[in-house]
C-alpha cells in the first residue's frame, strides 16, 4: 500500500483515495488482503502505556529526600542497638509508604474502570459482502458503512453520504452534529472543519455514509492524543519542591550540628565514642519523624474529599497543587457547558420569549421578554407544536437523567415544547403522521404531514434553515395567530440578533392541505407556506461553572477556555459565564484566538497572546498542550 503520510487524505478525490489505499469502492478488501494488512498495521486498538508493577509503585513511595534521611537514621540507631528508636522510625516510614501506595492504587483502579469499555462492532464490505466484525479487526483500506447510532470505529475518509451527521464533540468540542460531505476540501483545512472525514470515538446521529478507513489504532486522531498524553513529562508540584528543599537544608543543618557537637566535645576532653553517640542522638532527635506521615495523611484526606466530588487524583502531592493554581485552562463542551442543546429563545408572532432550564430535562418555563400577558399565545403554541411533530427523535429518562435518542437539535425542541405544556406522546397520537419529507443537506429542511381530524384540513409542518423556510412562505402569524403579510426583513433581523448571542436558529412554517391528502412531495411545500416562528438554541453553560469562575476570579485565578468549537460560539459562551473581563457589552471577536492564527506567529508573540487572551477556539490537541503549557507558572488543565 502506498505511503499515506505525505498526503492530506481530505484533499484527495474519491478515485485518488481509493488508489492510494489500494481498495475497491464496491467490493472492499479481500479477506486475504485484510489479514495481511492486519499483520502489517496491527489491531485497531490504542497501545496502552505500560504501567509500573505494584512492587515498584510501593518502593517509589520511599523515593523522597526526607524519607532517605529517616531510613539512614533508622539504620544508624539499629546499628547502635537503639531498638525502640529504630522501630519507631522504620514504623513511621512504613506507614507513610503504605498509605501512599493504597491511595494511589485506588486512583489507578478507578481510572482502569473508566477505560474498560466494550469492544464495538463495525459494518464492513469485504469481497463484495456486508459483514459485522469487531472494530479491532479493521485495517486501512476497509470499506465501512456508517448508520445512525453507530460509533465511528476508525478515521474514515467519506466517499458517499446521505444526510450524514456526526457528533464530534469528544474530539473537536462542537456541540452540534456536523453535516458531512464527500467532496474534496482544501489541503489546509483545520481538523474541526474537515467535513469529508469522520474520526474514531465520534458518533453518527443521523443519516448514512460510506468511506474508506485511512487510519487505525495509534495512527488515528484519538491515538495521536493518547501519544501526546503519554509523552507529557511528570512535573514536580510546589509541595514536593518545598519538601525537597527543606529536606536538603535539614540534612546539612543536622550534619553540621552533629559535626560541631563531636568537635566541641573532643576539644573539651570527652571520649570520641561518647561524642559520636551524642551526635547520633542529636541527629535522630532533630529529624521530624512524624512529618512525612502527617503530610501523607493530610494529602490522603484531600484526595478522599476530591473523590467524593467525582475528581480522581492519581498522585497524592497533586491535590496540594490546587491551592497553588494561578491559571485554569478548561475545555468548553461538557466541562463549562452541559453538552446538551437547549432552546433559549423563541420569536413567534413578533413576540420574544425566553426559556429557563438547561439540558434535555423538560423542566423550566417560557416567559415573554417584555413581561406582557400571552393570552392564547397561538403563534407560540404553533411554533412549539411544529417542533414536536416535525421531529424524529425521542426524549428518554434513565436513572433520573434525560437523554435524547436521535438528533440533539430535535431533542432540544422536544424539551422546549414540554416546558410549554406539550406531552410528546400524547401530541403525536393526537396528530398522527401520514407522510414525511426527510431532511436532506441539499434542501436544508424537513417536512411532515399530519391528520387533524375527520373532515378537517391536513397540515404540513416544516422546520429547517431560516433562508430555506422563508423562501417558501408568503404569510406569517401575528401575535394573535392570524395570518398577515410576510415581513422577511424583520425576520432576518431577528435571526441576526439571535445568532449574535451564539444561538443556532431554526425556522418553522405550516400549510393546510386538502383533507384527502395522504402524501407530500417537495412541490407541495414549495410555496404558500405560513411562517410560524424561530427557535434559537445553544449548548448552555453549566450554572455551577458560572459560580466557579466567579469564585476563581475573586481568588485571583485566571480562567482560560480552550476549545475546538467555532470562535463565535466560544465567544458567546465565554461572555455568558464571565470569562471575559466585562461581558455586559457582549464579547468581542478580537478577544478570541484561533488555532490557525497560532501557526502564523512567532514564539515571542505567542507568549504575549497567551498572557492577554482568555478564549482559544478551533484548537487541536497539540494547540491545547502548547497553550496550557505556556499558561504556567502553575496551570491546571480541565479536560
H helices of 375-487, where?
Answer: 378-389, 408-419, 424-430, 466-470
Q: Which of 182, 183, 152, 145 is nearest to 167 (CA)?
A: 152
Q: Which grid cell sits at 223?
A: 491515538
Q: In terms of residues, how long is the chain?
A: 639
Q: How far apart (Å, rounded) are the C-alpha atoms in residues 346 and 380?
A: 8
Residue 423 among the catalytic residues:
no
Q: How far is residue 346's CA from residue 366's CA, in Å, rounded to a whole number? A: 9
From the CB of residue 250, how many other CB atoms can be counted at a distance below 10 Å? 18
- Alpha carbon distance 639, 333 (integer Å): 9
Task: Report DSSP letters for 341-396, one per residue.
Answer: -EEEEEEETTEEEEE---TTS----EEETT----TT-HHHHHHHHHHHHS---EEE
CA atoms within 13 A on the CB side of 198: 35
CB 89 within 8 A of CB 68: no
Q: How large is the angle between the packed helices 408-419 and 378-389, nearest 10 degrees?
A: 140
Tell me the C-alpha distance between 639 and 332, whole Å. 9
- CA 78, CA 90: separation in Å to the nearest integer? 10
Contact 343, 416 (CB under 8 A): yes
Q: Which residue bears the cell 465501512?
A: 144
- Which residues are 484's β-sheet partners? 476
Q: How many CA atoms lie within 13 A of 134 on its CB side?
A: 8
Distance between the two ends of the chain, CA-based, in angstroms? 37
The secondary structure of 37-98 as a DSSP string is: HHHHH--SSPPPPPPPPHHHHHHHTT-SHHHHHHHHHHHHHHHTT-HHHHHHHHHHHHHHHH
DSSP class of residue 200 equals: T
Q: Which of 142, 167, 331, 407 is catalytic?
A: 331
d(CA 86, CA 159): 73
Q: Are 589 and 571 in contact (CB under 8 A)?
A: yes
The dihedrals phi and psi of 504, each to the nearest 5 degrees, come to: -90, 125
Name the residue among 203, 199, 202, 204 with its Cα closest to residue 224: 199
Report the distance separating Cα 426 and Cα 419, nearest Å: 15
- What's the rounded Cα separation, in Å, for the pair 156 and 150? 13
Q: Which residues contact 11 (CB under 8 A, 6 or more apart)?
A: 184, 185, 186, 187, 189
Q: Which residues are designated catalytic?
A: 331
Amino acid at each position: 500500500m502506498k505511503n499515506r503520510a505525505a498526503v492530506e487524505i481530505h484533499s484527495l478525490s474519491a478515485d485518488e483515495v481509493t488508489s492510494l489505499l489500494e481498495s475497491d469502492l464496491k467490493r472492499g478488501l479481500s479477506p486475504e488482503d485484510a489479514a495481511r494488512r492486519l499483520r502489517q498495521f496491527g489491531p485497531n486498538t490504542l497501545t496502552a502505556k505500560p504501567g509500573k508493577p505494584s512492587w515498584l509503585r510501593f518502593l517509589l513511595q520511599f523515593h523522597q529526600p526526607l524519607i532517605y534521611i529517616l531510613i539512614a537514621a533508622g539504620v544508624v540507631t539499629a546499628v547502635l542497638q537503639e531498638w525502640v528508636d529504630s522501630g519507631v522510625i522504620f514504623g513511621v516510614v512504613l506507614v507513610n509508604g503504605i498509605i501512599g501506595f493504597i491511595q494511589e492504587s485506588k486512583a489507578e483502579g478507578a481510572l482502569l474502570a473508566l477505560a474498560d469499555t466494550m469492544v464495538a462492532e463495525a459494518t464492513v464490505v469485504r469481497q463484495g459482502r456486508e459483514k459485522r466484525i469487531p472494530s479491532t479487526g479493521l485495517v486501512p483500506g476497509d470499506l465501512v458503512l456508517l448508520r445512525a447510532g453507530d460509533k465511528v470505529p476508525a478515521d474514515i475518509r467519506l466517499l458517499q453520504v446521505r444526510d450524514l451527521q456526526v457528533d464530534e464533540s469528544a474530539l473537536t468540542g462542537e456541540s452540534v452534529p456536523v453535516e458531512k460531505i464527500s467532496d474534496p476540501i482544501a489541503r489546509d483545512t483545520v481538523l474541526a472543519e474537515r467535513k469529508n472525514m469522520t474520526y474514531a470515538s465520534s458518533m453518527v446521529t443521523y443519516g448514512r455514509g460510506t468511506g474508506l478507513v485511512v487510519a487505525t489504532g495509534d495512527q488515528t486522531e484519538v491515538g495521536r492524543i493518547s501519544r501526546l498524553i503519554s509523552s507529557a513529562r511528570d512535573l514536580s508540584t510546589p509541595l514536593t519542591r518545598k519538601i525537597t528543599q527543606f529536606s536538603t537544608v535539614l540534612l546539612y543543618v543536622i550534619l553540621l550540628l552533629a559535626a560541631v557537637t563531636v568537635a566541641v566535645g573532643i576539644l573539651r576532653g570527652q571520649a570520641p565514642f561518647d561524642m559520636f553517640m551524642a551526635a547520633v542522638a542529636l541527629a535522630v532527635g532533630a529529624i521530624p519523624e512524624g512529618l512525612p506521615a502527617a503530610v501523607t495523611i493530610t494529602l490522603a484526606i484531600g484526595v478522599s474529599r476530591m473523590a467524593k466530588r467525582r475528581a480522581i487524583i492519581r498522585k497524592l502531592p497533586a491535590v496540594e497543587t490546587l491551592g497553588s493554581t494561578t491559571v485554569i485552562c478548561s475545555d468548553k463542551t461538557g466541562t463549562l457547558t452541559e453538552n446538551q442543546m437547549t432552546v433559549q429563545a423563541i420569536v413567534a408572532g413578533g413576540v420574544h420569549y425566553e426559556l429557563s432550564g438547561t439540558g434535555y430535562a423538560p423542566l423550566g418555563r417560557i416567559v415573554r421578554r417584555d413581561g406582557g400577558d400571552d393570552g392564547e399565545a397561538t403563534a407560540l403554541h404553533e411554533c412549539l407544536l411544529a417542533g414536536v411533530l416535525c421531529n424524529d427523535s425521542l426524549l428518554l429518562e434513565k436513572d433520573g437523567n434525560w437523554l435524547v435518542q436521535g438528533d440533539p437539535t430535535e431533542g432540544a425542541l422536544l424539551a422546549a415544547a414540554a416546558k410549554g405544556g406539550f406531552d410528546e406522546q400524547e401530541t403525536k397520537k393526537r396528530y398522527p403522521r401520514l407522510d414525511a419529507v426527510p431532511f436532506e443537506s441539499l434542501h436544508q429542511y424537513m417536512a411532515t404531514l399530519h391528520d387533524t381530524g375527520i373532515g378537517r384540513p391536513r397540515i404540513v409542518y416544516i422546520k429547517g434553515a431560516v433562508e430555506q423556510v422563508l423562501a417558501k412562505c408568503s404569510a406569517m402569524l401575528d401575535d394573535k395567530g392570524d395570518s398577515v403579510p410576510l415581513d422577511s426583513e424583520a425576520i432576518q433581523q431577528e435571526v441576526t440578533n439571535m445568532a449574535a448571542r451564539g444561538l443556532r436558529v431554526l425556522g418553522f412554517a405550516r400549510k393546510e392541505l386538502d383533507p384527502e391528502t395522504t402524501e407530500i412531495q417537495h412541490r407541495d411545500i414549495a410555496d404558500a407556506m405560513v411562517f410560524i416562528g424561530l427557535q434559537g438554541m445553544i449548548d448552555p453553560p453549566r450554572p455551577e461553572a458560572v459560580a466557579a469562575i466567579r469564585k476563581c476570579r475573586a481568588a485571583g485565578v485566571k480562567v482560560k477556555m480552550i476549545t475546538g468549537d467555532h470562535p463565535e460560539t466560544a465567544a458567546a459562551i465565554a461572555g455568558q459565564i464571565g470569562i471575559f473581563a466585562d461581558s455586559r457589552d457582549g464579547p468581542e471577536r478580537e478577544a478570541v484566538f484561533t488555532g490557525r492564527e497560532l501557526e502564523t506567529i512567532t514564539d515571542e508573540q505567542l507568549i504575549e497572546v497567551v498572557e492577554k487572551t482568555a478564549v482559544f477556539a478551533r484548537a487541536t490537541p497539540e494547540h491545547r498542550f502548547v497553550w496550557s503549557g505556556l499558561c504556567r507558572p502553575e496551570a491546571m488543565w480541565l479536560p
